[in-house]
């Protein structure tokens, strides 16, 4: 039998650069109140959200991704031609064929990088990061771009008082590359398809096309069930990720949970008993819930404001529709 | 040993006090969590999870919405506690 030569990868992987793009239009709660019977106080007390960004026609999924990626590539100090893989996590790119990752890879100037989209909801960034790490350590790419991007305003029912205020648009990207020391810990991830009804698109596109339903599909969720799962089940997953990486809560500098709702963040911090010394991302206040984009966007902001610094140890955890989740400990770029 | 009605109310009062900052003496059987005790739908989930642990009872999401008053929750726990 012929012997197949094995591929040769890097010993470890780490995040080398991060970039974000927030759409130019800032939408305060007052605008949301034009279509739902609620109040600014109610929205803030239930979610912590004060403003969010909504994309305009030019701020497409591809355009926002290219902006965020350009910054991440510059931050990593590499050139686009060195990128061997582009992974895009999104649920709100409405032209599913071809994958938007291919257009992004081309427009960024990569040298025919492998490019594909994944669908893992609000856990998409962690799923993408795990794939990127695998590709680098296995040797099929030296540098991989992981992008989380959403235009959730297109999937928001502005008349649903439980969700109209929640969602925002934007893109976050990281460059993952080779390292001599581990910069991305073991991922604790999984799915719970038995809870698929808790967060979902209201109806399939085909029901809308056939006229079976008149209302464009939107994301809907069972608030209390999601809250319970996110706070209490995800705190266990976060703890497992810390244990798997051999990091104690005291060793941790930064906590970047998916920016779903500030109440979830507060309760997770309490349940995890994180020490006061840990910086907690609260980007949701001015960005809303941007699903797969929320973790890299929050990471970028913490580094830009100086609340976190390069080399800090951060716990990241994404969780959402599926239900799916992914948690890992990373060294910040 | 199963908790009595009195013990359950006292336990719920401590939980509501910790989560919503409401004085324990205000937590009475006829009080509504939302209208009287400043426990909104998300805090209610925290109350329920704390009560599950304390009284060894399972309160599924679909039953949470029926627990409007402290009395509703007390009856539920009395009936379902392990």
Per residue in B25-75, pLDDT (tens digit) is 999 999 999 999 989 989 999 999 999 999 999 999 999 989 999 999 999
Rounded to whole angstroms, how far apart are CA atoms A61 and A237?
A: 30
Under the banding of pLDDT at 50, 70 and 90, the label for residue A328 is: very high
What is the model's pLDDT at position A134?
A: 98
pLDDT digits (tens, 9 = 90+) for A220-254: 999 899 999 999 999 999 999 999 999 999 999 99
pLDDT digits (tens, 9 = 90+) for A133-155: 999 999 999 999 999 999 999 99
CA distance A232 to chain B (A): 8
**B64 vs A contacts (CB less than 8 Å):** 224
Question: Mind telling me the catalytic residues of A?
Answer: 122, 258, 289
State both tokens at B64. Answer: 């949470």
Max CA pair span of chain B: 33
pLDDT digits (tens, 9 = 90+) for A49-71: 999 999 999 999 999 999 999 99
pLDDT digits (tens, 9 = 90+) for A95-123: 999 999 999 999 999 999 999 999 999 99
Across the interface, of A223, A232, A267, the residue whose CB is closest to B41 is A223
Q: Cα(first)–Cα(last) distance of chain B, in Å?
A: 9
CA distance B42 to chain A (A): 6
Rounded to whole angstroms, how far apart are CA atoms B7 and B28?
A: 12
Q: Residue A203 above 90 pLDDT? A: yes
CA distances in angstroms from A229 to A115, A324, B42, B54, B63, listed in the order given: 33, 11, 12, 19, 16
Contacts of A270 (CB under 8 A, 6+ apart): none
Q: Provide mean pLDDT across the span A190-205.
A: 94
- With vertex at residue A281, the alpha carbon angle to CA A275 and CA A286, rounded to the nearest 5 degrees, is 145
**B45 vs A contacts (CB less than 8 Å):** 224, 227-228, 231
> Is the separation of the CB atoms in A191 and A88 below 8 Å?
no
Look at residues A292, A231, A255, A294 and name the one whose alpha carbon lies nearest to residue A52: A294
Q: Residue A217 above 70 pLDDT? A: yes
Confirm or reject CATH 3.40.30.10 for domain A12-179, answering yes or no: no
What is the model's pLDDT at position A4?
A: 96
What is the model's pLDDT at position A207?
A: 93
Question: What is the span of the domain harbouring residue B30?
Answer: 3-78
**A224 vs B contacts (CB less than 8 Å):** 41-42, 44-45, 61, 64-65
Kindly report the CATH number assigned to the domain that includes residue B9.
1.10.1200.10
What is the model's pLDDT at position B1?
A: 66
> Is the separation of the CB atoms in B33 and B45 below 8 Å?
no
CB atoms within 10 A of CB A120: 27
Q: What is the mean pLDDT of chain A?
A: 96
Q: Domain tally for chain B? A: 1
Share of chain A above pLDDT 70, in %: 100
A267 contact B CB<8A? yes
Q: Provide mean pLDDT across the span A194-215.
A: 92
**B65 vs A contacts (CB less than 8 Å):** 224
Q: Provide mean pLDDT across the span A14-36.
A: 97
Under the banding of pLDDT at 50, 70 and 90, the label for residue B2 is: confident
Rounded to whole angstroms, how far apart are CA atoms B43 and B34?
A: 10
The alpha carbon of residue A262 and the mean position of all alpha carbons in its chain are separated, in whole angstroms, by: 16
Sheet with strand A279-280: strands edge to edge:
A188-191, A324-331, A313-320, A254-257, A279-280
Query: With b meaning 16 or more CB within 10 Å and e meaning fewer, what string describes A255-283?
Result: bbbbbbbbbbbebbbebbebeeebbbbbb
B41 contact A CB<8A? yes
Q: Residue B3 above 90 pLDDT? A: no
- Please state which CATH number belongs to domain A188-331: 3.40.47.10
Rounded to whole angstroms, how far apart are CA atoms A28 and A31?
A: 6
CB atoms within 10 A of CB A204: 12
Q: Residue B82 above 80 pLDDT? A: no
> Is the separation of the CB atoms in A75 and A60 below 8 Å?
no
Strands (E), A152-216: 169-179, 188-191, 199-201
> Is the separation of the CB atoms in A176 and A17 below 8 Å?
no
Contacts of A51 (CB under 8 A, 6+ apart): A26, A27, A28, A29, A285, A286, A288
Q: Provide mean pLDDT across the span A188-209.
A: 94
The alpha carbon of residue B50 and the mean position of all alpha carbons in its chain are separated, in whole angstroms, by: 9
CA distance B27 to chain A (A): 22
> Is the separation of the CB atoms in A215 and A156 below 8 Å?
no
Range(s) within chain A of domains with CATH label 3.40.47.10: 12-179, 188-331
């Amino acid at each position: 039998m012929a012997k197949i030569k094995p591929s040769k990868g890097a010993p470890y992987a780490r995040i080398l650069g991060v970039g974000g793009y927030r759409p130019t239009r800032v939408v305060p709660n007052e605008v949301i109140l034009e279509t739902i019977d609620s109040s600014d106080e109610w929205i803030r007390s239930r979610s912590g959200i004060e403003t969010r960004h909504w994309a305009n026609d030019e701020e497409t999924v591809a355009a926002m991704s290219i902006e965020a990626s350009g910054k991440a590539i510059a931050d990593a100090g590499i050139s686009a031609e060195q990128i061997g893989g582009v992974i895009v996590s999104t649920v709100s790119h409405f032209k599913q064929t071809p994958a938007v990752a291919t257009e992004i890879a081309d427009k960024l100037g990569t040298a025919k990088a492998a490019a594909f989209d994944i669908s893992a909801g609000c856990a998409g960034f962690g799923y993408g990061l795990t794939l990127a790490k695998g590709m680098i350590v296995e040797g099929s790419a030296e540098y991989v771009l992981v992008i989380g991007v959403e235009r959730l305003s297109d999937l928001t029912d502005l008349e649903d008082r439980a969700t109209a205020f929640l969602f925002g648009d934007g893109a976050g990207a990281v460059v993952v590359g080779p390292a001599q020391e581990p910069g991305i810990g073991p991922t604790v991830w999984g799915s719970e398809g038995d809870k698929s009804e808790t967060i979902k698109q209201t109806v399939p596109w085909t029901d809308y096309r056939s006229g079976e339903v008149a209302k464009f599909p939107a994301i809907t969720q069972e608030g209390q069930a999601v809250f319970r799962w996110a706070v209490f089940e995800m705190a266990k997953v976060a703890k497992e990720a810390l244990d798997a990486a051999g990091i104690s809560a005291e060793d941790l500098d930064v906590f970047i949970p998916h920016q779903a709702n500030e109440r979830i963040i507060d309760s997770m911090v309490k349940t995890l008993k994180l020490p006061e010394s840990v910086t907690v991302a609260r980007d949701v206040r001015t960005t809303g819930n941007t699903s797969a984009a929320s973790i890299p966007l929050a990471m970028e902001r913490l580094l830009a404001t100086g609340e976190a610094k390069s080399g800090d140890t951060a716990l990241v955890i994404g969780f959402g529709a599926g239900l799916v989740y992914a948690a890992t400990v990373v060294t910040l770029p | 040993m199963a908790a009595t009605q009195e013990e359950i109310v006292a336990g719920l009062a401590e939980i509501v006090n910790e989560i919503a900052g409401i004085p324990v003496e205000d937590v009475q059987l006829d009080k509504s969590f939302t209208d009287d005790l400043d426990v909104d739908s998300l805090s209610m989930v925290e109350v329920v999870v704390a009560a599950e642990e304390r009284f060894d009872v399972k309160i599924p999401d679909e039953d949470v919405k029926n627990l409007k008053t402290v009395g509703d929750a007390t009856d539920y726990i009395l009936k379902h506690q392990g």
